[in-house]
Structure 1
Amino acid sequence: MSDQRRGADRLPREYLKIGSALVLGAAMAMLDATVVAVATRTLAEKFGSTLSAVAWVSTAYLLTLSVVVPLSGWAMGRFGGRRVWLTAVGAFLAGSLLCGLAWSVPSLVAFRVVQALGGGLIQPVGQALLGRTVGPRHMARVMAVMSVPMALLPVLGPAVGGLLLAELGWRWIFFVNLPIGLLAIVLVRRWVPAVEGMAGRGSSGGAARLDVRGFALIAPGLASLVYGCSAAGDHGGFGAPAAWLPMAGGVALLVAFVFYSLRTKVAPLLDLRLFANRAFSVAMLNALLLGATLFGAMFLLPLYYQQAHGFSALRAGLVLAPQGVGTALSTFVAGRLTNRVGPRVLVMAGTAGATAATVPFALVGASTTALSLAAPLFLRGLGLGLVMAPLITAGYSTLRRESIAQATTTFNILNRVGGSIGTAVLAVTLVRGFGDGAPTAAKVASAYGTTFWWALGCTAVTLVAAAFLPGARAMRAALAQAAPATPSGAEDRESAAAAA
């Protein structure tokens, strides 16, 4: 490799600083979700409430996320990416403080909505800021660095939650966000450049108006779809009126949004014309399927260890450590190889590895030990770690920089919808597997084995979609045409009016 090529591939230190600052916010939001899930039973006991009522602490958060995420692209174009990110983290911290001071379940649910108003913007806006600042050439390697803590958080979350509940009390599962978020704000203000030009189609130098009609269709559409998927798991199937009615209404609203967005003459909330780009559309399809695979497994694996092996939430999280370690290791490989071998090879290899490593879980029996599943967990983590960074890079590689905000919003919406659908399918399958009667060890093992077969099938479908991602030649051509990013971001700095 020539010195010129080696210099072009070297990752500037400024990009690592930008990625580290932005990942703190995303890690804070993800840690909060994991810790709160562990505390459900404790919250019910402290407030003298039922588990179904306390479940709205998480449900209200998820529904609010569905409403807020579609606004991220417009908000970045209107106010500037860095300003929106800082405001989102501030709202999340305010909500965390209020949650820690809550005096009842209704007050806690209301304050979780405040949290979600910020939490729904942190990840898509941070991802867009990263893409706009570092550019497609370095995107995979920076994403790999950011993915390491994100891979470990599902393992650390239950442990952190258990320790906080045992030593400091339930209020600290929310107060713990305050120092993390404040540090993230300080670092982003110091290291992340303010960039403009993050609006989508229809933004001619200035910020587009909010597409109110589009928002009135997509926000309730997504919320209804997510709620219906959640209700399907709670009511034992998609045939329950509580599940299929909101799902049908959500799908109808989303279809109406698609027709409206393609015909409107104003700047739409989401630029669906980006799907005319083959690399982008294939990457978004993979994002949808990957969401189902990742979130479905995150729901199923801890439950398996708790019900089939009798582990506590803390111990179940620690047992999942091999998967987190495997993911953290392979993300470095993915980041270094994406530009060289292309996303297709890495995503297919990672998906195939994750699929094969899921087979032992589909074959579990009453005598299966947790130790015997440690190696498959590690291999599954290795496979998953090869997927995310190449997938995001493939989606951004052929887009103009001003389209990245819209692309990030679309990616996050599809990833969350896929996660809701995947989790619902696995939850329904698991409930039906238990059937009636006492849950004997054999019945529990059989129910989880059947459900893991469904998880394996979902992962295998992702393998088919990955075959259509760009190869090495297409990736090199896209990167050659991409404008080089500058760490200072001077060419994209916000106007004086926006900064005032």
Structure 2
Amino acid sequence: MLTAVAAPLDRATWRICWIIVFGAFASGLDASVVTIGLDSISSDLGADLSVTPWVASGYLLALALSLPLTGWLARRFGAGRVWLVALAAFTVASGLCAVAPDVVLLIVFRFLQGLAGGVLIPAGQTVLGHQVGAARLGRVMATLGIAVSVAPALGPLAGGLILHGLSWPWLFLINLPIGAAGLLLGLRYVPRGSRESTGGIDFAGLALVAAGLPLVLYVVTTWGETGRLEWPILVPGLVVLVWFVLRCRRHPRPLLDFSLYRNRLYRAASLAAAFNGALIFGSGIVVTLYFQLGRHLDFVGTGLSLLGFAGATAAIAPVTGRAVDRYGAAPVALAGAVLAVVSTVPFAFLPVDAPGLVVQVLLAGYGASVALVSMPMGIAAYKTVEPSRLPDAAAQVTILLRVGGSLGGAVFAVLIARRLPDVDGAFRVGFAAISVGAVGSLGTAWLVRRAS
């Protein structure tokens, strides 16, 4: 449906938007850049290889743990203040990681870094939502989406280039100039936001989600790595999360406001965002392994091969935002889902040593489809809520993206692992699954259109 064209954004708003992108980019980059340095960290710190992966896993679990707090913090102190404190804490924790004398302290500092990093994206989204209003939300959220989508894809390349000439502490030191620049600009330009009388925090609810969410994400992540589901951990985690949801529905001041899901469009858009998050993160696993196992590239070569994908996503993101503001989320997402099907189906029939130009053209098409499919769903969810409830919506949608992404990554990793060592067969199955998921995205976009 064609909507009225909103007024263009002024320079001050774009300046705030790009400052917020600083923090989102640093947080997203850190989710993947450290992974390739685990061997160096283990060797330098004399740590067991069974312990070192917690340097990466601890960060990801902490990201999820801090998300439920974001809504309460933004209402209580103002979203801009929360974003500034989170960026400062993230930067300081990055410096502490670089000077950690042993692996235990490194894991602790990474956990603190993740707690701060998890707040940056939803708090930044809340700042932008309050700044521009619903009619112009698509443009700024899509710009923020560039960092969210592109930073993890650039992580292997950045990490490989850093380790090629420097030691592992530089994987963390790279965050210091990014964080410092963002903080200095943020102190000058980012609006602090209004404070609300929120009452005390629901500590019992916080304890439940702090226990349940990391347990579930841990099981899902290890399933992707080992192919085994740890039911003794998964079941208690799910039970605790159900208990948390029931408590939030009864509590007068819940940690997460699940009454938002009474809105049909918000419900459809947020669940579609979770599905697309699973597809995108899962397909990212397949594409990365395709270059490493199928085409035998190292981390730097893999990162360079992903530049076309990342570049297409970044190029299409601003167009996506304007299109969502003009035509609505569903038509844009439908177009993206069709492009995703067209650009991934050929991979299911191509050999792993297909011509590089063909591979790059298809990947660029898929990168463009990622921007067209993933960003509109989150934007549609945010457009349905009142400004005062945007902190809750941002936290909830981000949680769904994290959970969906972890689940998607695990499912696709298991699909690939079960077909190896038949490399051709493994990636045919993997890319066929991506194509099926893209068809599923057509369905989610249709549901959002019906709910509109």
For residue 414 of structure 1, what is the amino acid of its counterpart?
Answer: L
Note if 1:340 corresponds to 2:326: yes
Partner of 1:248 in structure 2?
Answer: 235
Pair 82,54 (structure 1): closer, same or farther in 2 beyond 3 Å: same
Partner of 1:452 in structure 2?
Answer: 431
Partner of 1:210 in structure 2?
Answer: 201
Pair 95,86 (structure 1): closer, same or farther in 2 beyond 3 Å: same
Pair 460,207 (structure 1): closer, same or farther in 2 beyond 3 Å: same
Partner SS, residue 51 of structure 2 = helix
Deviations 1:325-374 (A, max 9, x none): 21122212212221221111001111221132121222343543443311
- C-alpha contact 2:81 2:193 (8 A) present in aligned 1: no
Structure 1 position 154, deviation (Å): 3.8
Deviations 1:432-465 (A, max 9, x none): 112xxxx3xxx11211221222233233222211
Partner SS, residue 385 of structure 2 = coil
Structure 2 CA distance, aligned partners of 1:163 and 1:42? 14
Pair 288,371 (structure 1): closer, same or farther in 2 beyond 3 Å: same
Pair 462,237 (structure 1): closer, same or farther in 2 beyond 3 Å: farther
Structure 2 CA distance, aligned partners of 1:155 and 1:30? 9
Partner of 1:200 in structure 2?
Answer: none
- C-alpha contact 2:337 2:369 (8 A) present in aligned 1: yes
- C-alpha contact 1:351 1:383 (8 A) present in aligned 2: yes
- C-alpha contact 1:302 1:313 (8 A) present in aligned 2: no
| 1:377 pairs with one of 363, 366, 372 | 363
Structure 2 CA distance, aligned partners of 1:413 and 1:9? 31
For residue 360 of structure 1, what is the amino acid of its counterpart?
Answer: P
Note if 1:468 corresponds to 2:417: no
| 1:285 pairs with one of 267, 271, 277 | 271
Note if 1:225 corresponds to 2:211: no
Partner of 2:246 in structure 1?
Answer: 259
Length-normalised TM-score, structure 2: 0.94
Note if 1:89 corresponds to 2:76: no
Partner of 1:269 in structure 2?
Answer: 255
Query: Which runs of 5 or more structure 1 residues have no equivalent in the other structure?
Result: 198-204, 475-500
Partner SS, residue 121 of structure 2 = helix
Deviations 1:138-177 (A, max 9, x none): 1111123333344443443222212211222111110110
Structure 2 CA distance, aligned partners of 1:465 and 1:280? 13
- C-alpha contact 1:96 1:115 (8 A) present in aligned 2: yes
| 1:330 pairs with one of 316, 320, 330 | 316
- C-alpha contact 1:19 1:146 (8 A) present in aligned 2: yes
| 2:292 pairs with one of 298, 306, 310 | 306
Query: Which runs of 5 or more structure 2 residues have no equivalent in the other structure?
Result: none
- C-alpha contact 1:154 1:324 (8 A) present in aligned 2: no
| 1:407 pairs with one of 363, 373, 393 | 393
Deviations 1:376-433 (A, max 9, x none): 1011011111134422221122211100000000001000000111111112222211
Partner of 1:353 in structure 2?
Answer: 339
For residue 73 of structure 2, what is the amino acid of its counterpart?
Answer: A
Partner of 1:142 in structure 2?
Answer: 140
The structure that has the greater radius of gyration is 1
Which deviates more, 333-342 or 283-292? 333-342
Pair 350,261 (structure 1): closer, same or farther in 2 beyond 3 Å: same
- C-alpha contact 2:295 2:353 (8 A) present in aligned 1: no
- C-alpha contact 1:228 1:245 (8 A) present in aligned 2: no
Partner of 2:301 in structure 1?
Answer: 315
- C-alpha contact 1:155 1:318 (8 A) present in aligned 2: no
Deviations 1:231-285 (A, max 9, x none): 21232233xxxx2222222211111122222122x20011100001111111111
Structure 2 CA distance, aligned partners of 1:430 and 1:374? 21
Identity of aligned residues (%): 36
Structure 2 CA distance, aligned partners of 1:257 and 1:307? 41
- C-alpha contact 1:224 1:247 (8 A) present in aligned 2: yes
Deviations 1:98-149 (A, max 9, x none): 1100122222111111111211111111111111121111111112333334
| 1:234 pairs with one of 188, 209, 225 | 225
Structure 1 CA distance, aligned partners of 2:19 and 2:153? 21
Which deviates more, 143-152 or 245-254? 143-152
Structure 1 CA distance, aligned partners of 2:134 and 2:375? 11
Alignment root-mean-square deviation, CA: 1.9
Structure 1 position 46, deviation (Å): 2.4
Structure 2 CA distance, aligned partners of 1:424 and 1:156? 20
Which deviates more, 460-469 or 277-286? 460-469
Structure 1 CA distance, aligned partners of 2:336 and 2:183? 34
Deviations 1:280-320 (A, max 9, x none): 11111111101101211222211210111110111101111
Structure 2 CA distance, aligned partners of 1:360 and 1:81? 45
Structure 2 CA distance, aligned partners of 1:19 and 1:350? 24
Q: How does 1:102-141 map to 2 (within 5 A)?
A: 102-141=100-139
Which deviates more, 41-50 or 160-169? 41-50
Pair 294,24 (structure 1): closer, same or farther in 2 beyond 3 Å: same
Structure 1 position 50, deviation (Å): 4.1
- C-alpha contact 1:98 1:111 (8 A) present in aligned 2: yes
Structure 2 CA distance, aligned partners of 1:293 and 1:366? 21
Structure 2 CA distance, aligned partners of 1:395 and 1:366? 38
Which deviates more, 300-309 or 365-374? 365-374
Length-normalised TM-score, structure 1: 0.86
Which deviates more, 147-156 or 291-300? 147-156
Structure 2 CA distance, aligned partners of 1:210 and 1:156? 37
Structure 2 CA distance, aligned partners of 1:83 and 1:317? 35
For residue 438 of structure 2, what is the amino acid of its counterpart?
Answer: T
- C-alpha contact 2:97 2:169 (8 A) present in aligned 1: yes
Structure 1 position 35, deviation (Å): 1.4
| 2:19 pairs with one of 8, 18, 21 | 21
Partner of 2:372 in structure 1?
Answer: 386
Pair 377,146 (structure 1): closer, same or farther in 2 beyond 3 Å: same
Structure 2 CA distance, aligned partners of 1:455 and 1:246? 29
